[in-house]
Structures are given as C-alpha cells and as structure tokens.
C-alpha cells in the first residue's frame, strides 16, 4: 500500500475534523497519548483497505496534543479514517490498537456500514469530507 508524500505547510490547527481548503483538506485531531497518527484515504465506500495512507510527522504536524496535516489535492467527498499508535495500558485507560480504523469524532457525515472483520480489524463506516460553508443569508436559529 503506497505511503503518501505531501507538501509541508504550517496551518492553524483548529477547528477539529476535516476542513476543506482551496489546495486540499486539512485533517485535525486531538490525542494526548498517541505516538503516531495516520489518515487512511479510500476511493469507494465498499473498499476494505485504504488506497493511500498519509502519516502525520510528529516533529512538524503535532502541536501539543493536536495533530494537524494538510493533504493537497483532496476534495469534498473524500472518504477517510484515522489510525493511531500509542500505549496499551488498560490500567491507565489507554487501549491503543495500531490496526484499528477510527471514526473522526468531528466528522460531519459517515458513509457505509460496519464491515465484517474476518481478520480481526474492525472496519467502521467511513468519514466523508463535506464543505460546511452554507450561506444562510442572514437566517438565524428559530429559538434565538
């Protein structure tokens, strides 16, 4: 499975989730205890394996407990999971599994269903990159 090379660029690491930008998509996730972070990219909802893996560089893509990387060329509709390495110390509440596919807690959309795991790797629905810049043209929430 090919590992991706990307352009390095500093980005303000908030808000969390997948943020669509002119040049690509910025992925931002919080993890205090992770020692490595990856974003797994898929071409189709039915894919069991990612078509591309982007590794976060701890020296350049981590600010404290926030991991942030921009992947050029990605667009709305991109499917993804996170994957993290870290300690397995249940007595401390840490249960990292470097093979687990993780749903972005800030994902605005999911696609697919849990896929059967005959190899022991749970495959949850995939996160979907969406654009969240709808022009409400001055409308407000009805209860405000």
Range of the domain at 110: 17-128
Query: Does any domain span residue 144?
Result: no
The number of C-alpha atoms within 13 Å of 102 and in the hemisphere containing its C-beta is 20
pTM above 0.95, yes or no: no
Query: Does any domain span residue 10?
Result: no
Query: Does any domain span residue 100?
Result: yes
Note the pLDDT of residue 13: 56
Mean pLDDT of 69-77: 97
Q: Identify the three-state secondary structure at position 54.
A: strand
CATH (domain of 85): 2.60.40.10
Note the pLDDT of residue 96: 94
Query: Does any domain span residue 8?
Result: no
From the CA atom positions of the chain, what is the Rg in Å? Answer: 16
Query: Does any domain span residue 2?
Result: no
Overall number of domains in the chain: 1
Note the pLDDT of residue 12: 54
Query: Does any domain span residue 63?
Result: yes
Query: Does any domain span residue 7?
Result: no
């Amino acid at each position: 499975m090919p590992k991706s090379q990307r352009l390095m660029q500093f980005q303000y690491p908030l808000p969390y989730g997948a943020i669509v930008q002119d040049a690509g998509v910025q992925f931002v996730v919080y993890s205090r205890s992770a020692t490595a972070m990856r974003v797994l990219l898929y071409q189709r909802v039915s894919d069991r394996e990612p078509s591309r893996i982007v590794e976060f560089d701890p020296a350049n893509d981590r600010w404290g407990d926030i991991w942030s990387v921009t992947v050029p060329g990605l667009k709305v509709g991109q499917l993804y999971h996170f994957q993290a390495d870290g300690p397995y110390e249940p007595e401390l509440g840490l249960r990292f599994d470097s093979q687990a596919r993780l749903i972005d807690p800030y994902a605005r959309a999911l696609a697919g269903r849990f896929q059967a795991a005959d190899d022991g790797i749970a495959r949850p629905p995939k996160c979907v990159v969406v654009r969240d810049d709808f022009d409400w043209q001055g409308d407000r929430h009805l209860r405000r």
